Amino acid sequence: MNAQAIPRLAISLLAGTLFGLGLSISGMIDPARVLGFLNIASGHWDPSLVFVLAGAAMVAIPGVFLQRHLSRPCLDDRFHLSTNTKIDRPLLLGATIFGVGWGVAGFCPGPAVAALSTGRALVFPFVAAMTLGMLLHDRFGTRTGN
């Protein structure tokens, strides 16, 4: 491991830990709470995750503006941003699969990985299926140029 990789690894570990801690504290790793937020029509809607989404936006929006004014990130030679601006079938299909999965299971990728720390049995099949889907996509679903 070279000397440049150590600070990047340390910052990545710190950022991931902070992200996972935030997901845990906010309740995003509790599928019942997430489903309570997503099911507006149930009569028992839990609006508390609106504050989580607002907090995420308060961090992300200034970050995007900052990124647009920087020539490169601190610990890399360039930003790795998608150049695809089309709303196409793969994007819509992926968004649909993501939304249905989130609505059925109460997990999305980040909170699911953080929820592994709880040891709850229902998390493991979700993460396994998510990982398998990612591997299959990388093997069979990628197109050159994206």
The structural domains of the chain, with segments of one domain joined by +, span: 5-141
| pTM beyond cutoff 0.85 | no
78-85: long-range contacts (C-beta < 8 A, 24 or more apart)? 82/146, 84/146
Q: Round to whole Å and give the CA distance between 113 and 123.
A: 8
Q: What is the pLDDT along the chain (146 residues), one digit of tens a residue?
A: 777 788 888 998 999 999 999 989 988 899 988 888 888 888 888 898 899 889 989 999 999 999 999 999 888 889 998 888 899 998 899 899 888 888 888 898 989 999 999 999 989 999 999 999 889 988 887 665 44
Q: Round to whole Å and give the CA distance between 114 and 21.
A: 8
Query: Based on C-alpha coordinates, what's the Rg of the chain?
Result: 18
Q: Round to whole Å and give the CA distance between 44 and 42.
A: 5
